[in-house]
């Protein structure tokens, strides 16, 4: 007898939805990537140029050197990484203290989060004036401090949620077994909180990497970050599409590397993966 194989259903709707979504996300990205290697004449050509005949790297050169994009990139890396490390380590310790010792009673933990309700514009001028006063204006240290403080509420809150769902008995077992508080934190709580720490670090890093407003006000020629470089392309003598696109591609690279590196942890961290044995 002929075997009765049920035809496999093709999930048409799913494919269409995913294709539309990809087109929506990737098409502009493709356009930016292509624009970054197009000769200037092709930017707004009609009909549009889908792939340039003579790809060029001049926009990259101009963006990185003439417009000091490379300096901005280096500044951004230094500032974002330092602020991330500081924010996440201080945030993790603070969150641990809030979650385990109920530090500050019921209200301190909420107060920390409430700091995020404050619009940056409300504090930027006082900050600017204070920075000028103490000489932190347009310095790396100044930016690192500002970003650390600015991102701390979210790192604290993420790690607080993480520690709170982690059973206390694990650390208590470690304490009775022979650890000090620090020992229990280091050898039991921290390894189990690693996915949460990774998630908090990614959030913090992205927040710092893309921040524009603080950087605009607090930096000028020395500690300026990558996002602020874009001003130069879009304000003066018309738009420098090629240079802007080139720098956009450059600024994407770290995010992509980061995403690939931590993808696995990130999912676990965001879903607050249960750590029970």
- Interface residue list for other proteins (CB under 8 A): 167, 169-170, 172-180, 183, 187-188, 191-192, 275-277
CB of 63 to other proteins, least distance (A): 45
Q: Can you tell me whether residue 233 is helix, strand or coil?
A: helix
Token pair 């020992």 is at which residue? Answer: 183
Total Cβ atoms within 10 A of residue 241: 20
Q: Which is nearer to other proteins, 216 or 272 (CB)?
A: 272
Cβ(240)–Cβ(35) below 8 Å = no
CB of 257 to other proteins, least distance (A): 26
Give which of 271, 243, 100 is closest to 172, Cα–Cα.
100
CB of 162 to other proteins, least distance (A): 14
Phi, then psi, of 186 in degrees rounded to 5: -75, -45
CB of 171 to other proteins, least distance (A): 9
CB of 181 to other proteins, least distance (A): 8
Q: Find the radius of gyration of the CA atoms of the chain.
A: 24
Q: Which is nearer to other proteins, 114 or 177 (CB)?
A: 177
C-alpha distance from residue 169 to each of 176, 186, 258 (Å):
10, 15, 34
Q: Which is nearer to other proteins, 166 or 218 (CB)?
A: 166
Total Cβ atoms within 10 A of residue 90: 15
CB of 270 to other proteins, least distance (A): 19
Q: Which is nearer to other proteins, 102 or 130 (CB)?
A: 102
Compute the distance between CA of residue 72 and CA of residue 267 in angstroms, rounded to an integer.
31
Q: Which is nearer to other proteins, 22 or 173 (CB)?
A: 173
Q: Which is nearer to other proteins, 119 or 178 (CB)?
A: 178
| 188: CB partners within 8 A, 6+ apart | 170, 171, 173, 174, 179
């Amino acid at each position: 007898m002929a075997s009765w194989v049920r035809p496999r259903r093709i999930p048409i709707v799913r494919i269409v939805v995913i294709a539309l979504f990809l087109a929506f996300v990737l098409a502009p990205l493709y356009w930016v990537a292509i624009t970054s290697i197009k000769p200037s004449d092709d930017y707004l050509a009609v009909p549009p140029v889908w792939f340039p005949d003579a790809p060029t790297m001049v926009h990259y050169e101009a963006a990185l050197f003439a417009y000091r994009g490379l300096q901005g990139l280096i500044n951004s890396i230094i500032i974002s990484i330092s602020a991330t490390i500081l924010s996440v380590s201080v945030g993790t310790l603070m969150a641990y203290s809030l979650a385990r010792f109920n530090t500050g009673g019921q209200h301190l933990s909420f107060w920390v989060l409430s700091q995020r309700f404050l619009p940056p514009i409300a504090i930027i001028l006082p900050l600017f004036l204070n920075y000028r006063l103490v000489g932190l204006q347009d310095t790396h240290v100044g930016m690192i401090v500002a970003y650390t403080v600015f991102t701390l509420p979210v790192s604290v809150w993420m790690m607080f949620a993480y520690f709170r769902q982690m059973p206390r008995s694990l650390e208590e077992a470690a304490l009775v077994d022979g650890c000090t508080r620090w020992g229990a934190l280091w050898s039991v709580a921290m390894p189990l909180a690693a996915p949460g720490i990774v998630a908090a670090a990614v959030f913090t890093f992205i927040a710092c990497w893309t921040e524009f407003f603080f950087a605009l006000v607090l930096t000028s020629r020395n500690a300026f970050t990558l996002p602020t470089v874009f001003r130069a392309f879009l304000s003066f003598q018309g738009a420098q599409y090629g240079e802007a696109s080139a720098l956009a591609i450059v600024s994407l690279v770290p995010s992509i590397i980061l995403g690939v590196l931590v993808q696995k942890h990130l999912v676990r961290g965001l879903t607050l993966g249960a750590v029970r044995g």
